[in-house]
Amino acid sequence: MTDTAGATLGLTSAEVAERVADGRTNAYTDATSRSAWSIVRANVFTLFNGIIVACFAVLLILGRWQDALFGLSAIANTIIGSVQEFRAKAALDKLALLHAPTARVMREGELRDVTIADVVLDDILVLRAGDQIAADGVVIDSSRLQADESMLTGESDAVDKQTADEVLSGSIVVGGEGTARVTRVGADSFANKLASEAKRFSLVASELRRSVDKVLKFQAWIIGPVALLVLNAQIFVFGGWPEAISSGEWRQAAVNAIASVIAMIPLGLVLMTSIAFAVGAVKLAARQVLVQELPAVEGLARVDVICLDKTGTLTEGEIVFDEAHPVFRSTSGTLSTLEAEPVPHEAPSGWEQVLAWYGAEPDANATARCLAAAYQAECDLEPDARIPFSSARKWSAVSFTGAAEGTWVLGGPEMVFQGDAHKELRSRSSQLAASGRRTLVLGHCPAALTPEHVDAETLPAGLKPVTLLTFRESVRSDAVETLGYFASQGVDVKIISGDNPQTVAAIAREVGLDAPSGFDARELPDDQDSLAAELERHTVFGRVTPTQKKAIVQALQSSGHTVAMTGDGVNDALAIKEADIGIAMESGSAATKAVARIVLLDGKFEHLPGVVAEGRQVIANIERVSMLFLTKTAWATVLAIVFGISIMQFPFLPRQLSVVDGLTIGIPAFFLALMPNTRRYIPGFLRRSLSFAVPAGLVVGLVVWWYAWAAGGAGIQQEELRTGATLILTIIGLWILVVLSRPIDGWKIVIIGAMMIGLILVYAVPLARTFLGFTDPSLITTLLVIGLSIVAIAGVEVVRFIHRRYVRRHGGTGDY
Where in the sequence numbering do the catalytic residues fall?
Answer: 309
445 forms bridges with which residues in the sheet? 407
In terms of pLDDT, which residue wins out, 1 or 663?
Answer: 663
Query: For residue 1, what pLDDT is reported?
Result: 41
Q: In what order do the strands lie in the sheet with 315-326?
A: 315-326, 464-475, 438-445, 406-411, 395-400, 385-390
Domain span including residue 649: 36-89+203-281+612-809
| pLDDT tens-digit readout, 37-81 | 777 877 787 777 788 888 888 888 888 887 777 777 677 667 766
Best CA proximity match to 169, nearest among 129, 118, 131, 114: 131
Among 610, 599, 39, which residue's Cα sits nearest to residue 283?
610
Name the residue with higher pLDDT: 60 or 591. 60
Q: What is the mean pLDDT of residues 415-443?
A: 85
Is residue 96 included in any domain, yes or no? no
- For residues 141 and 190, membership in a common domain is answered with yes
Residue 57 covered by a domain: yes
**pLDDT higher than threshold 70 for residue 600:** yes
Q: Which of 29, 142, 130, 4 is nearest to 89 (CA)?
A: 29
Question: Is residue 167 classed as helix, strand or coil in its secondary structure?
Answer: strand
Look up the CATH number of the domain holding residue 141: 2.70.150.10
Residue 372 lies in a domain: yes
681 and 797 belong to one structural domain: yes
The answer to whether residue 20 is domain-embedded is no
pLDDT category at 154 given cuts 50, 70, 90 is very low
Distance from C-alpha of 631 to C-alpha of 701, rounded to nearest angstrom: 10
**pLDDT surpassing 80 at residue 811:** no
Identify the CA nearest to 592 among candidates 184, 93, 153, 101: 101
Rounded to an integer, what distance in angstroms lies between the CA atom of residue 789 and that of residue 795? 10
Separation between Cα atoms, residue 679 and residue 685, nearest integer Å: 13
Label residue 485 by pLDDT band (50, 70, 90): confident
Residue 689's CATH number: 1.20.1110.10
Q: Is 631 a residue whose pLDDT tops 80? A: yes
The answer, yes or no, to whether residue 799 has pLDDT greater than 90, is yes
* CA distance linking residue 595 with residue 96, whole number of Å: 13
Q: Per mean pLDDT, which of 124-128, 248-252, 803-807 is the most reliable?
A: 124-128
225, 310: one domain: no
Strand-pair partners of 400: 406
Q: Do the domain assignments include residue 95? A: no
* pLDDT reported for residue 508: 86
Indicate if 460 and 321 belong to the same structural domain. Answer: yes
274 and 329 share a domain?
A: no
Residue 294 and residue 324 share a domain: no
From 577, 611, 645, the end of a domain falls on 611
Among the residue ranges 329-338, 730-739, 766-775, the one predicted with the least confidence is 329-338
| 789 shares a domain with 668 | yes
Number of domains the chain is built from: 4
Confidence of residue 257 (pLDDT cuts 50, 70, 90): confident
| Assigned domain for 29 exists | no
Alpha carbon 388 to chain centroid distance? Answer: 34
546 against 260, higher pLDDT: 260
> Looking at per-residue confidence, does 418 or 705 come out higher?
705
More confident residue, 343 or 320: 320
CB proximity list for 353: less than 8 A, separation 6 or greater: 375, 377, 379, 381, 403, 404
Average pLDDT value for residue range 743-760: 90
- H-helix or E-strand containing 692? helix 685-713
Same domain, 74 and 151: no
Within a domain: residue 591?
yes
Does 407 fall in a domain? Answer: yes
- Please report the sign of the dihedral spanned by the C-alpha atoms of residue 355, residue 356, residue 359, residue 360: negative
The answer to whether residues 495 and 602 belong to one domain is yes
Mean pLDDT over residues 434-451, rounded?
A: 87
Answer yes or no: do 348 and 450 share one domain: yes
Q: Residue 448: is its pLDDT beyond 70?
A: yes
Cis before residue 446, ω within 30 degrees of 0?
Answer: no
* pLDDT bracket for residue 710 (50, 70, 90): very high
Residue 515's Cβ-side half-sphere holds a number of Cα atoms within 13 Å equal to: 27
pTM: 0.64
Task: Give the whole-angstrom CA distance, residue 698 versus residue 732.
Answer: 12
Q: Determine the distance from the C-alpha atom of residue 407 to the mean position of all C-alpha atoms in its chain, rounded to a whole number.
A: 46
How far, in Å, are 33, 271, 672, 673, 747 from residue 276 at the CA level? 16, 9, 10, 6, 18
Distance of CA 776 to the CA centre of its chain: 54
**659 and 705 both lie in a single domain:** yes
Domain boundary among 611, 628, 645: 611
Same structural domain, 324 and 233: no
* Domain's final residue, options 580, 611, 642: 611
Measure Cα distances from 730 to 357, 637, 725 in Å: 80, 17, 9
The DSSP symbol for 489 reads T
Lowest mean pLDDT among 278-282, 579-583, 710-714: 278-282
Burial class of residue 206 in the structure, from the number of CB atoms within 10 Å of its CB (0-12 exposed, 13-18 middle, 19+ buried): buried
pLDDT in the model for residue 379: 65
CATH code, 579: 3.40.50.1000
DSSP helix/strand/coil, 239: coil
Tell me the β-bridge partners of 494.
Answer: 307
Percent of the chain with pLDDT over 70: 85
Of the segments 144-158, 194-208, 341-355, 402-416, which one has the largest average pLDDT value? 402-416
Rg (CA), the chain: 34
Q: Is the pLDDT of residue 638 over 90?
A: yes
Least confident among 10-14, 257-261, 584-588, 724-728: 584-588
